[in-house]
Amino acid sequence: MKSEVIISNKTKAMVAVAILAAATVAASLRIYFIREDSGGYVLWNAGEAYLFISVARRGLHVSYPEYAWVVLEQILHGGRDADDNLSSLMVIRITPTTVERHVVDPGTGRDLYTPFEDRIYANCPDIGGLCRWAGDHFERATEEEQRKLDGINRLIQRDIDDENGWSKHGLGPAPVDYKFTIKADDKFELSVSNVVAKKYGYGSVSVDLLRPAQVPERIWYLDGNPRRVSKAEYDREFGRR
């Protein structure tokens, strides 16, 4: 009986050590997630269209014990601050024959996109307020433009419908499905849709280019649902080493 007690105590000690070791290993291992948000505007006239889309990428990494107690939706949607953040502005220009893409960093703070006299103006706090799109970047407006637009006071936040030949419509993830179509005369169309995932309730936004007698082309897609990634992909996305 005495030897059985000794063996039992040893076994308990070994089990306790194994549990402690497993817990230590689990605490040292990380699970990595990335979630992306987007929102912006599409502006168009009879011959061209522009997409100004702000993208915010959020990253979070947790240990296995933490993951067991945190719901994924809460992790990446207000329940806990992200460990890493990146932002950028994607600008896409569409004509009947071309699709141009430009990435503008850091991409935060710009708003009030407004067409005026064949240019697109915006509020760019990082370069002093009123700015204009210059083909592949934003540049500060001239003094004459500042006077014409009264700084940023004449810039428009709301959607517009065929004002001086231009229209504007907001786009981005929403809690409900939606779809709308933009027509630039008979030259091309843009089909914009948002589909909400049932699992997490985040939307995936897509923009498809439709040209006469051509196969539809997807020119923008962003899935707002959190996704699990490897450490290597996480480090690559956020420039970590």
Structure tokens at 92: 């896409």
pLDDT tens digits, one per residue of 127-178:
889 999 999 999 999 999 999 999 999 999 999 999 989 999 998 877 788 8
Listed in sequence order, the residues at least 6 apart from 82 whose beta carbon sits closer than 8 Å to its beta carbon are: 58, 59, 60, 76
User: What's the rounded Cα separation, in Å, for the pair 140 and 207?
Assistant: 29
User: What's the rounded Cα separation, in Å, for the pair 143 and 137?
Assistant: 19
Whose structure tokens read 């210059």? Answer: 134
User: What is the reported pLDDT for 219?
Assistant: 95
User: What's the rounded Cα separation, in Å, for the pair 127 and 133?
Assistant: 13
More confident residue, 5 or 68: 68
User: What is the reported pLDDT for 144?
Assistant: 95
| Mean pLDDT, rounded, for 108-129 | 91
User: What is the reported pLDDT for 202?
Assistant: 74
Q: How confident is the model at residue 99 (pLDDT cuts 50, 70, 90)?
A: very high
Is residue 53's pLDDT more than 70?
Answer: yes
Q: How confident is the model at residue 12 (pLDDT cuts 50, 70, 90)?
A: very low
Q: What is the 3-state secondary structure (H, E, C) of 90-121?
A: EEEEECCCCEEEEEECCCCCCEEEEEECCEEE
Residue 207, beta-bridge partner list: 192, 220
Contacts 24+ apart (CB under 8 A), 119-127: 120/43, 120/50, 121/145, 121/149, 121/155, 122/52, 122/155, 123/152, 123/155
Q: Give the domain ranges of the chain.
A: 2-169
| Mean pLDDT, rounded, for 53-63 | 87
User: What's the rounded Cα separation, in Å, for the pair 172 and 92?
Assistant: 15
Q: How confident is the model at residue 22 (pLDDT cuts 50, 70, 90)?
A: very low
| Mean pLDDT, rounded, for 5-22 | 49
Collapsing DSSP states into helix, strand and coil, what is residue 15?
helix
Kindly report the average pLDDT of the chain as a whole number: 82
Whose structure tokens read 């009264």? Answer: 150
User: What is the reported pLDDT for 62?
Assistant: 82
User: What's the rounded Cα separation, in Å, for the pair 9 and 12?
Assistant: 5
Closest CA to 160 of 168, 170, 152: 168
Is residue 3's pLDDT more than 50?
Answer: no
Is residue 236's pLDDT more than 60?
Answer: yes
pLDDT tens digits, one per residue of 32-43:
888 888 889 999
pLDDT tens digits, one per residue of 192-201:
998 887 666 6
204 touches 197 (CB < 8 A): yes
* pTM, 2 dp: 0.80
Is residue 93's pLDDT more than 90?
Answer: yes
Burial 32-68 (b: 16+ CB within 10 A, else e): bbbbbbbbbbbbbbeebbbbbbbbbbbbbbbeeebbe
User: What's the rounded Cα separation, in Å, for the pair 87 and 141?
Assistant: 24
Residues in the chain: 241
Is residue 76's pLDDT more than 60?
Answer: no
